[in-house]
Structure 1
Amino acid sequence: MTESTPGYAAVPAAQKTNVLAIVSLVISILGFNVIAIILGAIALNQIKKTGENGRGLALAGIIIGAISLVLGIILIIVAVGIAASNPSITTY
């Protein structure tokens, strides 16, 4: 009777996370919103083609960048509206 040695299964390679997805998230947190949105969109496209991880990171970068951009625009509009409605401010 022969004894068989237990076989070891090959360890699957760890799934890579898309670098642009990580960069998109970090850049959106730092406040570079337009760049974060663009990099997030590129990352999603790459993830779709390559099957890498990072879809959630890319989406988070896009969402945070878009929300920050919209809030920034609203803040500017409110500031201009307040400045325009205040007659005591002179610009000469």
Structure 2
Amino acid sequence: MTTPVASAVNPGKTLGIVGLVLSIVSLQPFGIIVSIIGLVKSKKAGLGNGFALAGIIISVVGIIVVGIVIAVAVSAGVNLAAFCTEHGAGVFDNNGVTVTCGA
């Protein structure tokens, strides 16, 4: 008769899952921190943690995407402000795009 082998308890698994969920629901800064903590705890126990690794990857990608979106939005805002400063108040056509500049 064989005795079942007890599986090792992964101390970082729950943190890895929480970090992954946080990274998916657009809380990437928190997701990356929790995922890193979970991965470190798992590695100290000599175990892997795919959930934590996925949380780290998704968080990093999300942070990069948010950074790009912010950069594009700021650039567009600066260009719009420069256009309105140059042309003054009114409604203008700028290469097929209607631009309304306030007073």
**2:74 and 2:51 mapped to 1: Cα distance?**
34
Aligned length: 84
| Structure 1 equivalent of residue 7 of structure 2 | 14
Of Structure 1 and Structure 2, the greater strand share is in 2
When normalised by structure 2's length, the TM-score is: 0.71
Structure 2 unaligned regions, length at least 5: 85-99
Counterpart among 66, 76, 79 of residue 72 in structure 1:
66
Structure 1: unaligned runs, 5 residues or longer: 1-7
Q: Please tell me the residue identity of whatever aligns with 1:29.
A: I
The percent identity for this pair of structures is: 33
Deviations 1:14-66 (A, max 9, x none): 3444110111111111111011111111111101112345x221111001001
Higher relative contact order (CA 8 A, sep 6+): 1
CA RMSD in angstroms comes to 1.9
* TM-score with structure 1 setting the length: 0.78
